[in-house]
């Protein structure tokens, strides 16, 4: 039942997200990017894990010009493998159609990052996240428990919901950033 709820919610939100005009997508992306770049946790971070926008996820490209060690994932089987990437370096298209660094790019241990910007389909007020259904970030976040990394879910206001259906394996985020707010989740 819960799975069905997640599936229906995922479909509805993805439909809404993909109906954004290009202009709305850019405007919302820039609002989120501007909010992120002013956060002390961003300013202080040396190594940041991020993502390349897919299916009108907030496009954070302007941030990647900041002087950080930027890590981006490749989907390999059921895991995310993280590599250093800088603007201008070549990318491949992975099996889900998501852009990813090349296999021979230097790798990053995700545990060594200070901050991760987590793509989401939706988030809720408790910090739970809805993804595409692969569980990639649940596995990643459970594997980095105990590290000092700050986790920020990136989500549009319309997909920042009161309460998502939650399964036992779902991992919480520390904070959420939308176009209009940055919210730290109180444990
Ligand atoms: P998403 O988080 O992408 O929205 P779900 O929460 O529905 O997707 O999870 C998708 C799948 O990932 C589930 O079938 C679950 O069994 C698997 N999964 C999640 N976390 C883990 C984990 N730590 N180890 C193994 N499998 C996991
Ligand atoms: Mg999940």
- Give pLDDT tens digits for 91-105: 999 989 999 999 999
Q: Output the pLDDT for position 95.
A: 87
Containing structural domain, residue 43: 2-184
Give me the percent of the chain exceeding a pLDDT of 70. 98
Q: Which class for 67: exposed (0-12), middle (13-18), buried (19 or more C-beta within 10 A)?
A: exposed
Residue 2 clears pLDDT 80, i.e. is over it? no
- Give pLDDT tens digits for 119-144: 999 999 999 999 999 999 999 999 99
Q: Output the pLDDT for position 122.
A: 98
> Cα of 169 to ligand 2 centre, how many Å?
7
- Cα separation of 77 and 95, whole Å? 10
Give me the percent of the chain exceeding a pLDDT of 90. 95
The closest ligand to the CA of 134 turns out to be 1
> Cα of 144 to ligand 2 centre, how many Å?
15
- Find the CATH number of the domain harbouring 142: 3.40.50.10420
Q: Output the pLDDT for position 3.
A: 57
- Give pLDDT tens digits for 167-182: 999 999 999 999 999 9
> Cα of 11 to ligand 2 centre, how many Å?
15
- Count of domains observed in the chain: 1
Pocket test for ligand 1, best of 79, 169, 171 (most atoms within 8 A of CB): 169
DSSP labels, 74-134: EEETTEEEEEE--TTS-EEE-TTS-EEE-TTSPB--GGG-SEEEEE-SEEETTSBEE-SSS
Q: Cα 170 from chain centroid?
A: 15
């Amino acid at each position: 039942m819960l799975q069905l709820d997640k599936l229906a919610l995922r479909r509805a939100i993805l439909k809404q997200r993909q109906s954004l005009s290009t202009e709305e997508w850019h405007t919302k992306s820039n609002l989120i990017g501007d909010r992120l770049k002013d956060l002390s946790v961003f300013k202080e971070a040396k190594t940041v894990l991020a993502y390349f926008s897919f299916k009108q996820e907030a496009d954070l490209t302007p941030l990647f010009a900041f002087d950080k060690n930027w890590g981006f994932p490749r989907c390999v089987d059921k895991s995310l493998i993280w590599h250093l990437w800088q603007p201008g370096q070549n990318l491949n298209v992975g099996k889900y159609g998501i852009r990813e660094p090349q296999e021979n790019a230097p790798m990053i241990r995700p545990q060594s990052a200070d901050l991760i910007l987590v793509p989401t389909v939706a988030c809720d007020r408790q910090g739970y996240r809805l993804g595409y259904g692969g569980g990639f970030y649940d596995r990643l976040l459970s594997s980095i428990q105990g590290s000092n990394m700050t986790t920020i879910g990136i989500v549009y206001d319309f997909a920042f919901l009161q309460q998502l259906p939650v399964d036992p394996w779902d991992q919480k985020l520390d904070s959420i950033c939308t176009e209009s707010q940055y919210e730290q989740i109180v444990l």
